[in-house]
Amino acid sequence: MERGGGEVLNTIDQLNSPSRSTRLAAGKNVGAAILRGEIKNVQTDEVNNHVHTTYSFSPYHPSMAAYKAYEAGLKAVGIMDHDSVSGAEEMLAAAKSIGIASTVGFEVRVNFTGTAVEGRKINNPDSKNIVYIAIHGIPKKRIPEAVRFLKPMNDARNKRNRAMTHALNKLLPGYGLPALDFDRDVAAISQAKNGGAITERHLMCALANAMVMHSGKGDALVRFVIEKLGLALPEKIAAHLSDASNIHYVYDLIGVLKSSFLDNVFIQPNDEECIPVRTVVDFGNHINAIPVYAYLGDVGESPTGDKKAEHFEDSFLDELMPELKRLGFKGITYMPPRNTREQLKRIQALCTQYGFMEISGVDINSSRQSFNCPIILDPEFKHLIEATWALIAHEKLASVDERYAIFNPKNPVAEKPLAERIALYAKVGRTMDHREPEAAMKVLKGIH
């Protein structure tokens, strides 16, 4: 990756400025530098539709997330924040400037009360009956509507966030740590004031900051984690935390706290925060987006190391899939690195059986994570790349005329089999100029 001289590097850094206007201006300048050949990347065919930003939890503002995807050689990037789409328009603008394809969605938890699988642990390690789903491919003009739709859920979530902060504060004196102030220490490190969500990771980040302030970085903090908090540290993580120069320090510490400490203060969300699944699916279909179920699968030895061995939906997939169809889902999203080949073959076969679009992505929420996911280049997953291009074309076409949303019953190609629609839309997605996404309709007319 070539990044030019000091002035170019400074412009790239501005993509992560606290100021949105500065970030957007930097995006235009970075895009111009790319066109001049001052910034170059080595392109792959990789895509990623599941990148978190500071509007949920991430080291990266949307502009920087778009650039990091470009820097990694990806051809397409999708913003996927928890309970928020308030970073979406910035991502679209930055991607357009940089010249990388983009797509918009949000991730949300819903309750499955009243469904055929009510009450089970489905795809959420923290809760029974509460399920992660995503809404992909939101037409640009529908983003403000999605912001309004998500606000009550965020308000409810923040009541729980405050309650968890209160529960944490009851424990902190025993560790010799000062109490946290929710507004100063938790909300202030989020994008809540700009429509972003506050997650459990923000609370653990506030705790991590307090621990670093108390013990400093290095061996003293490792001793604090082990002796004061009573947590076991894997050798690799202990080595990371012993290294005071580790640039990923706080994110490594957050990972420890989220996986091993959060349960001490975790409060189960209620139905005001996690609303009925049908309500969210109906909303996704109403705005001509693509509601999808997030497949997790039973976890044995976690390929990504972030899940404990546990059983999820695999034992009742044959019951779950027709229920998802009945509820109005249009697709299934999954992350190839998380699952075994046997699990992936099974979910792919069920998607074909029930007519679900397959959408992939690998969530990015830590500075240590790579934007690259080369497994998607394997022959058995290349159809996920085609689906991404179809998703992008769907979103850009529906932003001009919603009849052209890929699942709209009024779509001129609605009667074609899903595989044919995906092939047609993928051709549009690959052919269009991603510095001029509003011209997608011209591309469609030239192809079809």
**So what's the pLDDT on residue 304?**
40
Q: How far is CA 402 from CA 143, 350, 386, 392, 398, in A?
A: 14, 28, 21, 14, 4
Are the C-beta atoms of residues 137 and 397 closer than 8 Å to each other? no
Reduced to 3 states (helix: H, G, I; strand: E, B; else coil), residue 332 is strand
Q: How far is CA 70 from CA 138, 361, 393, in A?
A: 22, 16, 19
pLDDT at 432 over 60: yes
Give me the percent of the chain exceeding a pLDDT of 70: 96
d(CA 243, CA 221): 10
Q: In which band, very low, low, confident or very high, does the pLDDT at 448 lie, cut at 50, 70 and 90?
A: low
Strands 76-82 and 47-51 come out as parallel
Q: In which band, very low, low, confident or very high, does the pLDDT at 85 lie, cut at 50, 70 and 90?
A: very high
**So what's the pLDDT on residue 442?**
84
Closest among 365, 420, 399, 384 to 104, alpha carbons compared: 399
Q: Please give, one letter per residue, the 3-state secondary structure of 149-185.
A: HHHHHHHHHHHHHHHHHHHHHHHHHHHCCCCCCHHHH
d(CA 82, CA 61): 14
**So what's the pLDDT on residue 7?**
79
pLDDT at 118 over 70: yes
Give the sheet arrangement for strand 290-294, strand by strand: 47-51, 76-82, 101-111, 130-136, 290-294, 331-334, 357-360
Which segment of 59-68, 247-256, 300-309, 359-368 scores lowest on mean pLDDT? Answer: 300-309
Taking CA 159 as the corner, what is the angle to CA 157 and CA 163, rounded to the nearest 5 degrees?
115
Give the residue extent of every domain in the chain: 1-40, 152-264
Tell which wins on pLDDT, 441 or 16: 16
**So what's the pLDDT on residue 305?**
44
Q: In which band, very low, low, confident or very high, does the pLDDT at 301 lie, cut at 50, 70 and 90?
A: low
Are the C-beta atoms of residues 56 and 81 closer than 8 Å to each other? yes
pLDDT at 303 over 90: no
Q: In which band, very low, low, confident or very high, does the pLDDT at 428 lie, cut at 50, 70 and 90?
A: very high
pLDDT at 164 over 90: yes
d(CA 119, CA 107): 21
Taking residues 149-172, report their average pLDDT. 98
pLDDT at 229 over 90: yes
d(CA 331, CA 324): 9
pLDDT digits (tens, 9 = 90+) for 257-286: 999 999 999 999 999 999 999 999 999 999
First to last CA, the chain: 37
pLDDT digits (tens, 9 = 90+) for 355-395: 999 999 999 999 999 999 899 999 989 999 999 999 999 99
Taking residues 95-107, report their average pLDDT. 97
Closest among 384, 260, 369 to 304, alpha carbons compared: 369
Please provide the average confidence, as pLDDT, over all residues in the chain: 94
